[in-house]
Amino acid sequence: MRNSRSEGRVIAVRVSRQDFDFVAKGYKTKEWSTDILSASPDPSKVKAQPNDKNNFVQRWYLSVQGEESPVISSAAVSKAAPTEQHIYRYDWAFGITLIEGFWWDWQAELRDEGAIAIHLLLEESGNAPQLLPVGGILSALHPSRNTKGLWETAWLQSPRAAADLAKVGRVALPQLEYASTGFMFASNVLESYTQNQKNWFLYQFFDEKLECPTVEWRINKRVIVEYGPLLRGTLYVAFYGDTSAHSGAVRIQLRPGIGYFKDDDLSFIRPTQAFKRDEQVCLEIKPME
């Protein structure tokens, strides 16, 4: 497992990233298990695809980044005096690749619906300010492998995407400055539907074991096939509370999963569950006034 953290110097942006190799056993069943591999695996010693059809070896890449000292937003609502709202973006990346000696068509056997589930766990300590998700996107480079060409597709989508983002930035979220400036050119925002076919959807739930709110990107197989096995997404959030009374931190943890068991769309292989708390890809957020 290779883990690194870095910090920007101009603005307090923290980056947490990691890549690791693992073997998944019985991946087509609900009783799957995983082992983290500490060194590059030997095909003669590790039984997995393409020779063993019950197991596979993959290498995953994870990263999450964002502001570690965000400013608290005001909860006041007044037409006379605009509220002091601060919206922050937290970006994640998740990539899958294979290792020499373990090459196989890992995409072909994925579930069509809900092939990938990306979780951002939002752990708030007892006295932490409140974190409120306000939106999320999934990104992809255009054109995809199935489009006709840049001029016919990406170029036509760019003005519309730019106009939509500018409207969001200037009207709905006035403080979301990057949405109406540099981020305006984000024509790589992947829509949830393409020609009546679902690409992905956003979902919120309360995690039973970690007892924390969770935002999920549920992504279909066609996204991986058409746009590639390196996914990127963004969660927009605001923080509320009095830091004198709520001085605790908020922990944002990235937890991806991959789905091969086709009889249960909630069954995802999650090798990161073997990591200790301090080994996870996460951010410790300390909101300030």
pLDDT of residue 77: 63
Kindly report the backbone phi and psi dihedral angles of residue 163, in degrees, each rounded to the nearest multiple of 5, phi listed first. -65, -40
Q: How far apart are alpha carbons 57 and 22 in whole angstroms? A: 6
Q: Cis link prior to 50 (omega < 30° from 0)?
A: yes
**What is the set of domains in the chain, with CATH numbers?**
2-140+190-285 (2.60.40.1510)
pLDDT of residue 229: 96
| pLDDT value for 171 | 40
**CA-wise closest residue to 66 among 208, 198, 203, 251:** 251
Tens of pLDDT along the chain (289 residues)?
Answer: 555 444 433 457 899 999 999 999 999 999 999 999 988 899 999 999 999 999 999 999 999 999 998 888 877 665 555 567 789 999 999 999 999 999 999 999 999 999 999 999 999 877 888 899 999 999 988 777 766 554 444 444 444 554 454 444 434 444 444 333 334 344 478 889 887 889 999 999 999 998 999 999 999 999 999 999 999 999 999 998 777 766 678 999 999 999 999 999 999 999 999 999 999 999 999 888 7
Q: What pLDDT does residue 187 have?
A: 46
Starting at the edge strand that comes first in sequence, how are the strands of the sheet with 250-258 ordered? 200-207, 212-219, 116-124, 250-258, 282-285
How does pLDDT run across 157-203, given as a tens digit for each residue? 444 554 454 444 434 444 444 333 334 344 478 889 887 889 999 99
Which residues have CB under 8 Å from 147's CB, separation 6+? 153, 154
The pTM score is 0.83
CA distance 73 to 152: 42
pLDDT at 176: 46
Q: How high is the pLDDT of residue 248?
A: 78
| pLDDT tens for each residue of 122-157 | 998 778 888 999 999 999 887 777 665 544 444 444
